[in-house]
Amino acid sequence: MVSYYDLSFQMERDTSVALGYFDGVHLGHQAVIQASKQCGNLLSAVFTFSTRTSRPASKPAHAGLMSEAFKESMLEQLGVSCMVCPDFEMFRGLTPEQFVEQVLCQRMRAKAVYCGYNFHFGRNASGSTDDLKRLGQTYGIEVHVVERLERGGEPVSSSRIREEVKSGNMPKARELLGRPFTIDFTVVRGRQLGRTLESPTINQLIPDYFILPKFGVYASTAWVDGAWKPGITNIGIKPTVGSQAPLAETYIFDYDGDLYGQDIPVRLYEFIRPEKKFDSIDALKTGILRDVQTSRMLLKEVLQD
């Protein structure tokens, strides 16, 4: 997949473009992307954006559902040929018509665009799907609005997924995402206390932009050496031994390799218990052993589904 991170590119072929922030690439987003790929000989492309320096008012802060690297990987897995992902600041001042003319027509050579039912675009999100259809007629672009996808009588949405993640309901988040909720941040050095507890862990600081799952222990798997290995992950501040910032601390069962500096994907499957402060290190060790047993049982059930 070819990726562009600014607006200085020029497509060499006509494209079919999926439009959206795609914060999570959940099942509803995937429906838009898959629809955009059904356009004959047109190059499949996605126009999304980064919020590193600014964000639309409608996009909440501290609520990211995936890293940008993971988003790019997911789009590639979905068979997208090209991703355009500039920072929001680069085009936030464009009117709806300027966006269609300068970005979709001149840069992307769009002949067809696909978006969700609640898509807005242009300065101050002033453009609606009806505006996109009208401008599409002016500039020779077929506009397709994909109907909302529902689960349990409610639309699949990023805001709904955020609520599930914040409450620790990973099975429901998994249902709406179409995959387990995943973190994939860089492994940093901790205090290496886990080694004295016979449960060495990897530590991943949770960035400010990312959503904080409910603090506690989860049954998890980590992608290591080409396979998903079972484990447990504590999300929080480690109240027994203390931590300066929220982090994900994962004990990967039966693994003791050096993963420092690597971006390791960790999937959260089931909430086991809230984070708690143990009275002693020995009590913490006993608690970890109990969590390991619970996680093995839960993962055996989940991974057989």
CATH number for the domain including 204?
A: 2.40.30.30
Residues 55 and 187 in one domain: no
- pLDDT of amino acid 268: 98
Question: For a pLDDT cut of 70, what percent of the chain falls above it?
Answer: 94
Task: Look up the domain containing 240 and give its range.
Answer: 180-302
Compute CA distances 169 → 138, 145, 289, whole Å: 46, 30, 23
Residue pLDDT, tens place only, 36-83: 999 889 999 999 999 988 888 888 888 999 999 999 999 999 999 999
> Tokens standing for 202?
């990897």
Residues 81 and 33 in one domain: yes
Q: What's the number of domains the chain is made of?
A: 2
The Cα 101–Cα 68 span in angstroms is 27
- Dihedral sign, Cα of residue 268, residue 274, residue 212, residue 198: negative
Residues 138 and 22 in one domain: yes
- pLDDT of amino acid 52: 84
Which region among 68-72, 105-109, 180-184, 256-260 has the lowest average model confidence (pLDDT)? 256-260
Residues 184 and 151 in one domain: no
Q: Decide if 162 is inside a domain.
A: no
Using the predicted structure, report yes or no on whether residue 227 has a pLDDT greater than 70.
yes
How confident is the prediction for the chain on average, in pLDDT? 92
Residues 98 and 211 in one domain: no
Residues 210 and 247 in one domain: yes
Residue with tokens 């004959």: 40
Using the predicted structure, report yes or no on whether residue 196 has a pLDDT greater than 60.
no
How would residue 200 be classed by pLDDT, with cut points 50, 70 and 90? confident
Supply the CATH number for residue 65's domain: 3.40.50.620
Residues 220 and 257 in one domain: yes
Q: Decide if 173 is inside a domain.
A: no
How would residue 240 be classed by pLDDT, with cut points 50, 70 and 90? very low
- pLDDT of amino acid 192: 56
- pLDDT of amino acid 263: 96
* 81 phi/psi in degrees, rounded to 5: -85, -30
Residue pLDDT, tens place only, 145-191: 999 999 989 999 999 999 999 999 999 999 999 999 999 999 998 76
Q: Decide if 298 is inside a domain.
A: yes
Q: Strand ranges (DSSP E) for the chain?
A: 2-4, 15-19, 43-47, 82-84, 110-116, 142-146, 150-151, 154-155, 181-183, 187-188, 201-205, 216-224, 227-236, 247-252, 266-274
Residues 207 and 132 in one domain: no
Residues 140 and 270 in one domain: no
pTM: 0.91
Q: Decide if 170 is inside a domain.
A: no
